Structure 1
Amino acid sequence: MQWRMDAGGQTLAFGTDGGLPAVIYWGARLPEGEDLAQLAASARHDLTGGMIDTLPDLTLTPESGRVFAGQPGLICAEADGTPLHPVFRFDRTEAAEGRLSLISTAQGITLTHHITAQATGVFTLQTVLEADRDIRISWLAAPVLPAPQAAETMVDVHGRWVREFHLNHVKWTPGIRLREARTGRSGHEHPPYLILPEFGCTNTQGAAYALHYAWSGGHRMVAEELPDGRRQVQFGAPLGAEPRPARRFATAELIAVHSQSGLNGIAAAFQADTRDRVVTWPNPGRPRPVHYNCWEAIYFNHTLADLSEIADRAAALGAERFVLDDGWFGRRDDDTTSLGDWTIDRNKWPEGLHPLIAHVKSLGMTFGLWFEPEMVNPDSDLHRAHPDWMLGPVDQVTGRNQLVLDLSRAEVRDYLFTAVSAILAEYDIDYIKWDHNRLLPVVDVAQADGAYDLFDRLRAAHPGVEIESCASGGGRIDAGILARTHRVWLSDCIDAEERLRMQHDAALFLPSCVTGSHVGAFHSHTTGRALPMAFRAWVAAQRHFGFEMDPRKISDADAAVLREVTAWYKANRDWMMAGRILRLDSADPTVTAEMQLAKDGGRFVLFAGQNAQTVQILPRPLRLTGLDPAARYRITLRNPGDKPPQSRGPNALKDGPLVLSGAALMGQGILLPVAWPATMWVVEGERL
């Protein structure tokens, strides 16, 4: 038996000879009349010496009971710990529009593989295990997919605090590439993403596959090349993250994408899926507002006079939302106290937040507020009253002076819901910055399930409130959290030079509308680097734009630049937020470049960031992508005034627009003026 599903430009086909189904094809969309029986026959391997007499299939859940030579997709036991090695037989299918469920059984256990073709062009896959008795699960993989043979490397993601979203290019070798996030969140270290490029794949051309595990509580990834040469990829919760016996277990969804247009095809699919399916917007038609966040301006030193003055300056620069960060509650004068005590600090705010909010709203801005609901300080009224609400051992080491609340407990979630909801009910708040600043002491699926429940209850009670996911910056960014939030804080580092690279790589997975990016201080608070305002502002304008420095301390000249870029962002944000980010293949490694292309292809903006001195004297041509070869485009350098004194030649873009065909722009490219490091050239394009 065989089945096929199509999503956008890709096809997944499955087959079985009576056991668990296996993938017989994953790649570019097949013709409608493709003979699936012949396709299944073409996927059968030969046998040779040194092998058993039957090659076990690489099924959607590889089975330890079939002498499979690789990592099994299921490790389970009876409730008393007796190992189980079920050998499944295919039972039946259940199908609906765009959804296929393949159901198999063994030893009182039912294994169901759900495959959904989403309208956004991605596949989502999930494994569900149900038993007629309590059993234990050590490992359950989402439906297992084959990795391409025409590939030398895989690309996964690594990071740390203030240096998130770094791409690892790792060679395939016989054996396992194992990555496991055991910190209780998706993590800076091992975000749940994997790209599988074929030979010759670049940003703009070639074939690639990609997977994203939509779960926020930590995960395990196995990319394995078997002794026979086949390759498999498995994603699931961390090993042993479900310690309690139960009758039902389910993985998170695995999002799968195939591209025939290079890494940009992967990026465009993930961006559209996140924006149009995963995120549920309170008001989809509302423009993404310009943020002002006060954290790097004042930290914990809150006064109504200072914050009112800051709000005045922020509004004058063009801010539309004012976010009061950490320090407004309990006795929160530093990060050692009061997490969990979600009541207004009356020493700082004797009349509550009402005077500040009234002032902010009088300036035409909405108001947002920082919370960290999942955490507690040992020095807090909550911990003194309920030390038993802590997650993990009593004698554990704190992280950032914090402990974690056990969100598997209903009474903990009830307390947090009531406390946060009371603030949202009393004050006119349209935005929460939701932080998560320490690693978990234990790995348990129940903690993430509890967090999801808390998010869902608050969303239902306050449907107009947007939520940003922040976890020491970018420590919890995945489709699981984005199904409950509307923005992610990519990094606590807003140094524009670091952000240029981070945003470029994160665009493989994240659309601009959810990626918060702020203009920081002249001297970065996380690197000490000093960068010009134009560069800081244009880098932030690539994504959901805002600023975070003390606006009382910037010069008149810098304020003028910031107002200009803010106005440009407001004029262009709607089509940018709905469009695609396409990374460019720059011939010069000192240039990080991308295009943002409107949904209808009628306009674009090119950002080319110069992050170091070039080896050659003059800039190399920069080829564009995603355009209609036969169309003509007018291109205009938006910021010629940013040229350095050394730029003294007849570069045409400095003097006015050019009109070129899409073929010329993509084939030969454009020549930008000479640039200093920490310069961003901005080129606007319009199809004629």
Structure 2
Amino acid sequence: MSQFWRLDGPLQTLVLAAKQKRLPQVIYWGPPLPASDDCTALAAAHALDVTGGMLDANPDLSICPEASQSFPGQPGLICRDALGCVLRPEFRFVKDLAQGKNLCLTYADEDLGLTYEAHFELTDSSNILTCWSRLEATQPLMLNWLAAPVFPATQLSDAMISFSGRWIGEFQTHSIPWRAGIHKRESRTGRSGHEHFPGLILPEIGARNTTGRAYGFHYGWSGGHQMIAEELPDGRRQIQFGHACDSHDGLAQSFETAKLHTVFSDNGFNGCGIAFQRHLRDHILTFPKASLPRPVHYNCWEAIYFDHDLASLKDIATRAKDLGAERFVLDDGWFGQRDDDSSSLGDWQIDARKYPDGLDPLIDHVKSLGLQFGLWVEPEMVNPDSNLYRAHPDWVLGPHDQLLGRQQMVLDMARDEVQSHLYDCISALLESYDIGYLKWDHNRILPLVNVTQTQGIYALLARLRAAFPHVEIESCASGGGRIDFGILQHCQRVWLSDSNDALERSQIQHGAALFLPSLVTGSHVGPRLCHTSGRVFDMRYRAWVAAQRHMGFEMDPRELEAQEAQVLSEVTQWYKDNRGWLATADILRLDSSDPSVLAEMQLASDASRFVVFFNQLHSAQQILPRPLRLTGLDPKARYVLHLRNRDEVSKLSRGAPLLKSQDLQASGAWLMTHGLHLPYAMPGSIWVVEGQKL
């Protein structure tokens, strides 16, 4: 007896096949198949040969590979009973439920009292296939590992693209060659992490940003997670994602993975990026007022740090308003006895030394300028030097003699009393003051990886959002330490990195564009002297880098010279004039033959207009700029292109490329095949090319 299930979307088809009521395996995942293709014939064609040194048949690479079936690789489930004995289930079909593009398959091992569910949801508008697994047990058991539904990896790939990073260096892309055995990446820091972003791109040979076939994966979970990419002894390959091993404490009877978001692309890496961007934007994010444009953001952290002075803050807010800011965020140092990072986390009461009349005088001034007011908080953390810790040392996660991180510890978010206390503290602030935004920070890794910690923060955020739906929340974790589709069910913005170095920020944004749309990605104009790298960049470069995402400022506006202020105001106005269509635009990474150039194109949802950012990171090895091919255009349509910042052309540009002096009209075919010739660019500069469909 064979069984088949098929999910078809405009851009991809998934076919599952099972025999003898066993767990199914993916026998096809790729471009759309004709409806006439017979699943029985496909399953027969999927069968592999057997040769010497093998079993007499190939164990199924199923959606949950079973050790009981002599599977030679990583199983999809590892668990033990209450006595510690390893369980090796043999699941058999119970039922299926198909509703439109949604499919739920249920299997059971009656002898062991285990029920396994695999869920699949195909979203046509974003081209994302979302899947997750559930395990139910009649008796308590210990779970070591449960994978979301497992996918085979293409064998027409010679490398995989994974994402690592560090503080002020997030979303670094690495090409990892396939090899026999397991490539495993595991985050055990208790958050999605700078180090191991839970994403993967599998390109087929020859695929690039704009061409070729690729497969994308993102595990939407904000806690510890694990990814396994394995090449089996027989040559088959599998991809598994799930919570970090042993992150479930104690015995339980019900377990569920986070959602694994997957996509097949016939348009290179950009096909994956477009799908992830659209799915997050259109199906996961919820804004307090979605119809309002994204406000230009000002954060005072790198202007004042812990040195709070009401007169100075009012002056800074006024100057920020004059530059174009629409939101003012008061960062760390407003509460407890907080003069540095060694004390007062947990004491969420206004520091009367700095604000004897509370926050009202500052908020009143900010509101009088027409700005929204926002506030920094870090509720999940506590300093040993705090009233909260002295009153409740038992609320801390992990041992009391643990290593500190940034001189702080983590509160145990699994405890109801901790969640209730934090809700009371934050809600008191939101009820007392006109606050429209919270920058929610998370500056310390966890002392241990724990599923209930992540579930606890999700519950707290959900409760706050239900009570205060007008408040927008930003996810920050020393910058980009907690960015994933799980946390973004509860937040509306991410602080991509603590680095305001414009060159570093360009590279971080470029990597993140494979998953994040611009409207959720915070990007700020930093100080003239970058506080994390010590480098100095021209205001034009800093401003245009920030304008590529959700724009903001984080410098001290009192340091600006008149020319810098004028440039920043002009670029900010450009952002405001264009943010309406940019909010729903696709970010398309462009292929550059010059490694010193980082280029992207933001294409409107109706494809009527676009903007190209040509970022000259370093000095090129050749003298002249190489042509830059565009992508995503209608080959038969004609476009007019304008070099927005042609007044910034260097004296070293002595030739006459057309865009230097006038607009260019050309077909989409020309722009995507021949490409643009731009003037010579100095290192640390950006060309901004605006395009309109005629």
Deviation at residue 381 of structure 1 after TM alignment: 0.3
The partner residue of 1:193 within 199, 221, 241 is 199
Quote the Cα distance in structure 1 between the aligned partners of 2:665 and 2:672.
13
Q: Which amino acid aligns with 2:24?
A: P
Quote the Cα distance in structure 2 between the aligned partners of 1:252 and 1:132.
22
Q: How does 1:18-33 map to 2 (within 5 A)?
A: 18-33=21-36
Quote the Cα distance in structure 2 between the aligned partners of 1:438 and 1:627.
44
Partner of 1:267: 273
Q: Determine if the alignment matches structure 1 residue 209 to structure 2 residue 211.
A: no
Structure 2: give runs of 5+ residues left out of the alignment.
none
Q: 4+ runs of 1 displaced by more than 4 Å?
A: none
Partner of 1:163: 169
Structure 1: give runs of 5+ residues left out of the alignment.
none
Partner of 1:37: 40
SS in structure 1 of the partner of residue 457 of structure 2: helix
Residue deviations 1:605-631 (CA, integer Å, cap 9, x gap): 000010111111111111110000111
Partner of 1:458: 464
Q: Determine if the alignment matches structure 1 residue 573 to structure 2 residue 583.
A: no
Deviation at residue 308 of structure 1 after TM alignment: 0.1
Asked whether the equivalents of residues 7 and 122 of structure 1 are also in contact (C-alpha less than 8 Å), the reply is no
Q: Determine if the alignment matches structure 1 residue 529 to structure 2 residue 535.
A: yes
Deviation at residue 132 of structure 1 after TM alignment: 1.1
Q: Determine if the alignment matches structure 1 residue 554 to structure 2 residue 560.
A: yes
Identity of aligned residues (%): 57
Deviation at residue 24 of structure 1 after TM alignment: 1.1
The partner residue of 2:256 within 250, 254, 262 is 250
SS in structure 2 of the partner of residue 192 of structure 1: strand
SS in structure 1 of the partner of residue 133 of structure 2: strand
The partner residue of 2:437 within 428, 431, 437 is 431
Q: Determine if the alignment matches structure 1 residue 111 to structure 2 residue 116.
A: yes
Residue deviations 1:342-368 (CA, integer Å, cap 9, x gap): 111111001111111110011111000
The partner residue of 1:7 within 6, 9, 12 is 9
Q: Which amino acid aligns with 2:136?
A: E
SS in structure 2 of the partner of residue 411 of structure 1: helix
Residue deviations 1:230-266 (CA, integer Å, cap 9, x gap): 0001111111001221111000010000000000101
SS in structure 2 of the partner of residue 71 of structure 1: coil
Deviation at residue 290 of structure 1 after TM alignment: 0.2
Deviation at residue 54 of structure 1 after TM alignment: 2.1
Provide the alpha-carbon RMSD of the alignment.
0.7
Quote the Cα distance in structure 1 between the aligned partners of 2:655 and 2:156.
46
The partner residue of 2:81 within 78, 81, 102 is 78
Asked whether the equivalents of residues 180 and 190 of structure 1 are also in contact (C-alpha less than 8 Å), the reply is yes
Deviation at residue 662 of structure 1 after TM alignment: 0.5
Provide the TM-score with structure 1 as the length reference: 0.99
Q: Determine if the alignment matches structure 1 residue 93 to structure 2 residue 99.
A: no
Quote the Cα distance in structure 2 between the aligned partners of 1:590 and 1:8.
37
Q: Which amino acid aligns with 1:51?
A: M
Partner of 1:295: 301
Residue deviations 1:574-616 (CA, integer Å, cap 9, x gap): 1011010000001111110000000000000000010111111
Deviation at residue 403 of structure 1 after TM alignment: 0.1
Partner of 1:495: 501
Deviation at residue 32 of structure 1 after TM alignment: 2.0
Partner of 2:58: 55
Deviation at residue 102 of structure 1 after TM alignment: 0.8
Partner of 1:449: 455
Q: How does 1:183-582 map to 2 (within 5 A)?
A: 183-582=189-588
Quote the Cα distance in structure 2 between the aligned partners of 1:379 and 1:242.
31
SS in structure 1 of the partner of residue 583 of structure 2: helix
Quote the Cα distance in structure 1 between the aligned partners of 2:281 and 2:261.
14
Deviation at residue 90 of structure 1 after TM alignment: 1.5
Q: Determine if the alignment matches structure 1 residue 65 to structure 2 residue 68.
A: yes
Quote the Cα distance in structure 2 between the aligned partners of 1:36 and 1:352.
69
Partner of 1:672: 678
SS in structure 2 of the partner of residue 417 of structure 1: helix
Quote the Cα distance in structure 2 between the aligned partners of 1:7 and 1:339.
49
Q: Which amino acid aligns with 2:4?
A: Q
Partner of 2:611: 605
Deviation at residue 6 of structure 1 after TM alignment: 2.2
Quote the Cα distance in structure 2 between the aligned partners of 1:679 and 1:562.
15
SS in structure 1 of the partner of residue 486 of structure 2: helix
Asked whether the equivalents of residues 201 and 208 of structure 1 are also in contact (C-alpha less than 8 Å), the reply is yes
Asked whether the equivalents of residues 292 and 546 of structure 1 are also in contact (C-alpha less than 8 Å), the reply is yes
Q: Which amino acid aligns with 2:5?
A: W
Asked whether the equivalents of residues 21 and 90 of structure 1 are also in contact (C-alpha less than 8 Å), the reply is no
Quote the Cα distance in structure 2 between the aligned partners of 1:330 and 1:398.
20
Quote the Cα distance in structure 1 between the aligned partners of 2:656 and 2:479.
43
**Larger mean Cα displacement after TM superposition, 418-427 or 113-122:** 113-122
**Larger mean Cα displacement after TM superposition, 662-671 or 26-35:** 26-35
**Larger mean Cα displacement after TM superposition, 47-56 or 160-169:** 47-56
Q: Determine if the alignment matches structure 1 residue 16 to structure 2 residue 30.
A: no
Deviation at residue 105 of structure 1 after TM alignment: 0.6
Asked whether the equivalents of residues 8 and 122 of structure 1 are also in contact (C-alpha less than 8 Å), the reply is no
Quote the Cα distance in structure 2 between the aligned partners of 1:393 and 1:607.
49
Could you say if the C-alpha distance between residues 363 and 659 of structure 1 is closer, same or farther in structure 2, counting changes exceeding 3 Å? Answer: same
Partner of 2:593: 587
Quote the Cα distance in structure 1 between the aligned partners of 2:204 and 2:655.
41
Deviation at residue 657 of structure 1 after TM alignment: 0.6
Q: How many residues align?
A: 688
Quote the Cα distance in structure 2 between the aligned partners of 1:236 and 1:477.
16
Residue deviations 1:76-110 (CA, integer Å, cap 9, x gap): 11112111111111121012232101111102110
Quote the Cα distance in structure 2 between the aligned partners of 1:206 and 1:455.
40
Deviation at residue 370 of structure 1 after TM alignment: 0.3
Residue deviations 1:387-415 (CA, integer Å, cap 9, x gap): 00000012101000010000000000000
Q: Which amino acid aligns with 1:53?
A: D
Q: Which amino acid aligns with 1:28?
A: P
